[in-house]
Chains A and B, each alone.
Chain A
Amino acid sequence: GGIITQTPKFLIGQEGQKLTLKCQQNFNHDTMYWYRQDSGKGLRLIYYSITENDLQKGDLSEGYDASREKKSSFSLTVTSAQKNEMAVFLCASSIAYNNNQAPLFGEGTRLSVL
């Protein structure tokens, strides 16, 4: 079976800092996603990527950059961390963007900004 690995598991940053989160999958999936999870707000799509070197904005892309340099990896950058921000960032992947397969998730990166 495959796995989605997110690093780091915990990330503490300073206000205004640029922070990078990484995600690797070995399912050989084409599509990868970044979601943000806030308490009481469910999951919101930040960026997704249909294939290597492709990037598509989700509903919450402002304040973030993403990079898909390899099929197996997808990085997310918080361009300027906001003071007292706390959230969980979840990476997911699926076979292809248009075949309605349920995305599979990593265990998340928990962000706290001081």
Chain B
Amino acid sequence: AQSVTQPDARVTVSEGASLQLRCKYSYFGTPYLFWYVQYPRQGLQLLLKYYPGDPVVQGVNGFEAEFSKSNSSFHLRKASVHWSDWAVYFCAVSPHDTNAYKVIFGKGTHLHVLP
């Protein structure tokens, strides 16, 4: 069965530092993958999406993610974190078939930014 694991419940970085949030997926084949961000008391906003093709995907606000089939990973990166990036980040996987509605979400990673 497909699944998503975000191994880090919480990540703390200093403002201006680089960031990597980890995501591992389990799926037979090549899935579609998404990263969402949730700011306090808001819904989820789509940061970026991966459809089979270029493994590096660019998103909004300087975020990018890299798909690795060999590592079953889809890690999110940012070169320089801003205080406004303080939020919860969710990785999600969507299967490549008639069950495409079954978007499965990870449990989220809380990003804390130190001044």
Interface residues in chain A, defined as those with a beta carbon under 8 Å from any beta carbon in chain B: 4, 6, 31, 33, 35, 40-43, 45, 48, 50, 56, 90, 92, 94, 97-100, 102-108, 110
A107 to B51, CA, bound (A): 26
For chain A, what secondary structure do more than half of its interface residues adopt (helix, strand, loop), or is it mixed? strand
Residue on B with the closest CB to A10?
B41
A6 to B41, CA, bound (A): 13
Number of interface residues, chain B, beta carbon within 8 A: 25
Return the contact of B90 from the options A42, A94, A98 (Cβ within 8 A). Answer: A42
Smallest CB separation, B110 vs chain A (Å):
10
For chain B, what secondary structure do more than half of its interface residues adopt (helix, strand, loop), or is it mixed? loop
Contact present for A106 and B105 (CB under 8 Å): no
Contact present for A42 and B106 (CB under 8 Å): yes
Cβ contacts under 8 Å, A45 to chain B: 102-103
Given A90-B43, A108-B42, A108-B43, check contact A102 B49 (CB 8 Å). yes
Contact present for A40 and B102 (CB under 8 Å): no
Given A40-B9, A43-B90, check contact A98 B107 (CB 8 Å). no
A105 to B100, CA, bound (A): 17
Closest 8 CB pairs of A and B: A105-B43, A42-B107, A97-B101, A43-B105, A105-B44, A107-B43, A100-B32, A102-B34
Cβ contacts B32-76/A at 8 Å (1 or 0 each): 101010000111111001010000000000000000000000000
